[in-house]
Copies of this chain bind each other. A is one copy, B any other.
Amino acid sequence: MTTLTEKLAAVQMVLLDVDGVLTEGRIVYADSGEEIKSFSVRDGYGIRMMLDAGIQVGIVTGRHSPALRHRCLDLGIKMIHEGARQKAPLLAAIMADTGLSAAAIAFMGDDLPDLPIMTRVGCAVAVADAHEELRRRADMVTTARGGRGAVRELAEALLKARGKWDSLLSSLTE
């Protein structure tokens, strides 16, 4: 049986849901119809660490959000799949495009529409406050909630599984 550390070490691409994962799950509208989205600065640093380590990071969301694209531009995320109501066929397309196997892909989600993709990737991660049906099926449940460091927690777990954490830390404290 594959351990969590082995699963994490095999990951070459991380796919992230947005609402409830990169955010706290609030859909915020101004009267004008403009939407507002809140991200975690520490998740952002985690995403940079993953990209720097050569792990691909992609976004998979059922909604459309210009605010999200501004944040992705900040962080250097280029793979953004919006309007993905059916996440399982999208995963198949991503695997075909990239040539990656399921075992090389991690997905982090929070709610039922994420189940079809969660059950198909090699490393399924649920945020601390995910729906219980996701937490029960996840390979890893973060201790941090969505939008409050869950992505960062996965990023550090991935770096540790690859044995890259200690050198990163000493580069900051030397």
How long is the Cα–Cα vector from A40 to B111 in the complex, in angstroms?
Answer: 12
Q: How many chain copies does the complex carry?
A: 4
Q: List 13 A-B contacts (CB under 8 A).
A: A25-B41, A26-B40, A27-B71, A27-B74, A28-B36, A28-B37, A29-B71, A30-B30, A31-B67, A36-B36, A42-B111, A116-B173, A119-B173
User: Is the beta-carbon distance between B133 and A67 smaller than 8 angstroms?
Assistant: no
Total contacting residues, chain A, CB less than 8 A: 43
Which residue in chain B gives the minimum CB-CB distance to A64? B31
Contact call A40/B27, Cβ cutoff below 8 A: yes
A:2-52 near B, CB below 8 Å: 19-20, 25-42, 44-45
A119 / chain B contacts, CB cutoff of 8 Å: 173
Residues in B with CB closer than 8 Å to A67 are: 29-31
Interface flag for A113 (CB, 8 Å): yes
Asked if A111 and B32 sit within 8 Å, CB to CB, the answer is: no
Task: Tell me how far the C-beta of A69 lies from the nearest C-beta in chain B, rounded to whole angstroms.
Answer: 9
Q: Is the interface of A mostly helix, strand, loop or mixed?
A: mixed
Residues of A within 8 A of B (CB): 19-20, 25-42, 44-45, 65-68, 70-71, 74, 110-113, 115-116, 119, 131, 133, 137, 147, 169, 172-173
A116–B113 Cα distance when bound, in Å, is: 37
Q: Which residue of B lies closest to A25 (CB)?
A: B41
Q: Which of A27, A38, A137, A173 has the most CB of B within 10 A?
A: A27
